[in-house]
Amino acid sequence: MALRIVGLSALVGVLFLGFIALASFASAAVAPTVTVTVHDEDENDVSSALVGSPLHAHVEVASSSATTTPLGTVDFHLFSGNETCSGTSTVEANVPLEDGFAGSSTTTLPIGGLSYRVHYDGQEDIYTEADSECVAVSADMFTPSLALSLSDDNVEVGSFVHATPSLIGESSNASGTIEYRVYENDTCTNLVLDAGDKEVADGSTPNSDAFPFNATGTFHWQGHYTGDTNNAAATSSCAGAVLTVVATTTDDDDDGKDDDKDDDDKDDNDKPKKDKGKHKGFLNGLPFGIFKKVFGDEDFPIPPGIVKRFLGEDYFSRIFDWHEKDDDKDERYEEDDDDDDEKEWSGRKARGARISR
């Protein structure tokens, strides 16, 4: 009887030791470390990026106490629009590990940023399930700059002028508005003209409206880009596009020179320059009829000097030749080839008659 009791006790002891061994084996599964990083297209680890940038997550599952590389799958939880892994996530589930690593599909960084949390599904008897920390990427807006150039920066009164924008550093799909304004002071506070608000579409930036400037002065153009969800606002320099408007110059004698430039109409002796034929057919810019008003009778001879000055040397010669060839048509003037004085006087009479006609 005693032997039976001893044998039973031994059996119980063996069973107990076996149970302890099994429990020890089961407790050998360890909790791994799950580490997440977010990468850009060039595989750089990023914590911030421009809005719209393509990003993806990498995860590594590892343990310093285990002797084998973790196997199994992970679930990527993407929280779009916040950096705290809060709210509803988009889940990319059952992505297999390869040598302890896995990667998510690519997403676009939205306004408000994004965040990832990754869950490891574990490996039976070796690794337990585990979660990563929340990893966030903040969203940076594009910060463009705006400059203006003018169609002309020095004009006369009445001229039309418009501005052309140069928006640099914006996103390719930039939208928003450029507001064009014109000021009369160099701090752009005294507004004198609204030159239009122009819509920006896919980065295309229209010119301002064109306006005539009807007063002299100095005018400062400025543009303001309102920005959009991806692009910050920008304002051009008040000193970057300055327009000077001057008084209109006159040229009453049609000689291509301004009348207020007196020196251009005189020679070195301060005497009026010769007419050079610009008033041919006119007396001080007036038609032949004025000769009649000035000299009275149309038969009154006009001195050759006046004919040469206002009708030109060529016309003077034609009149003189005409008189020589057609002397028999006008019996009032007889020509005497031997008398130069009479010829001169007759020439004058003939020319006077020709002009009056």
Over residues 262-288, mean pLDDT? 47
- What is the pLDDT at residue 343? 53
Mean residue pLDDT of the chain comes to 78
Banded pLDDT at 249 (limits 50, 70, 90): confident
Is the confidence at residue 123, as pLDDT, over 60? Answer: yes
Sort strands 54-62 and 33-39 into parallel, antiparallel or unpaired: antiparallel
- pLDDT tens, 188-198? 999 999 999 99
pLDDT exceeds cutoff 70 at 119: yes
Give dist(CA 227, CA 81) in Å, integer. 20
CA proximity to 319, closest of 283, 297, 344, 282: 344
Contact yes or no for 40/46 (Cβ under 8 A): yes
Q: Is the pLDDT of residue 43 over 80?
A: yes
Per-residue pLDDT for 319 more than 80? no
Q: What are phi and psi of 343, to 5 degrees?
A: -60, -45
User: So what's the pLDDT on residue 318?
Assistant: 55
Contact indicator for 46, 38 with CB cutoff of 8 Å: yes
Confidence band (pLDDT; 50, 70, 90) for 350? Answer: very low
Residue 330: Cβ within 10 Å count: 14
